[in-house]
Amino acid sequence: MAKSFVRSANLRALVFKSQSPEVIQNCQSIFQKLVDPQLRDTLQTDIQLLSSLTEDIDNDDGIMNWDDGTARPIPRDLQIALTRFHPRSIQMAQFLPNVRINGLLYTPTSKHEGNSCALLKPKSQRDPILVPARIQMIFRIPLLESVQTLIAIRRHQPPQLPHDPFSQFPILRARLWGAQLGDLEIIQVDQILSHFACLPMEGDFKGHIAIASLSRVSFAMCQS
């Protein structure tokens, strides 16, 4: 871990050195984003997640946050998904550009594809698999005498393979999933655990993606 921090610090300092190549100096803003630990370091993900577990959660939901002036009609596909989530008919919603969960920022795919990659918490200890999903919309609706923030997602489908090659290397904490996404569904904010990174596969694994969690904090730790 110490070596990783030293390497990262050296990379960040590269643009300030007199011997730094001109092409690096001219691309300083882009280069800084590539090596910014707040954006790229999984340790920062862990720190923010653990910090959020020891702090009071800022729940900004409530009837005071509802504003009819910013509410918009709910699209048909979202309306169908909402019907499966709650029987009450709701026609209007406030659509949000992002939401912060456990100190981490999540956005719809249309706004930022990387921040829309979300790992869902396992259903139970008997089924400990973290399912990857893509956030499609983040919205607020009046529900049960309050205003609740909900997330519309599409889950990646299970792999259509007889064997996952990553199962031989558990240290990588990676799995193969289908690149295809499922139907739109609604989840609550607390069902999201962390971001994930993904890589499209080719050859015999075409149509699949390799998924790796960006959090090294285990679900068991989060529950304790």
Rounded alpha-carbon distances, angstroms, from residue 84 to 81, 89, 148, 152: 5, 11, 16, 12
- At 173 the pLDDT is 79
- At 123 the pLDDT is 77
Choose among 161, 154, 160: nearest CA to 182: 154
Residues 6+ apart with CB under 8 A from 96: 138, 139, 140, 149
Residue 27 lies in a domain: no
Quote the number of domains for the chain.
1
Residue 48 lies in a domain: no
What's the farthest any 2 CA atoms get from each other in the chain? 65
- At 224 the pLDDT is 32
Residue 51 lies in a domain: no
Per the structure, the complete domain to which residue 196 belongs is given by: 59-223
- 3-state class (DSSP) for residue 50: helix
- 3-state class (DSSP) for residue 6: helix
Residue 7 lies in a domain: no
Indicate the angle between helix axes 28-35 and 2-14, nearest 10 degrees. 170
- At 136 the pLDDT is 97
**Pairwise CA distance, residues 165 & 92, whole Å:** 45
Prediction pTM value: 0.71
CB 202 within 8 A of CB 182: no
- At 87 the pLDDT is 83
- At 67 the pLDDT is 78
**Tens of pLDDT, residue by residue, the chain (224 residues):** 456 556 666 666 665 666 666 655 666 665 555 555 554 455 555 565 556 555 544 445 544 567 778 899 999 999 999 999 988 888 999 999 999 998 889 999 999 999 999 999 887 767 678 899 999 999 999 887 788 999 999 999 999 888 888 888 887 778 999 999 999 999 999 999 999 999 899 888 999 999 988 876 554 433 33
- At 99 the pLDDT is 94
- At 214 the pLDDT is 85
Residue 17 lies in a domain: no
**The domain that contains 187 carries what CATH number?**
2.30.30.490
Residue 2 lies in a domain: no
Residue 118 zone, left/alpha/beta (φ > 0; ψ -120 to 50; rest): beta
Residue 124 lies in a domain: yes
Q: What are phi and psi of 60, to 5 degrees?
A: -90, 5
Residue 88 lies in a domain: yes
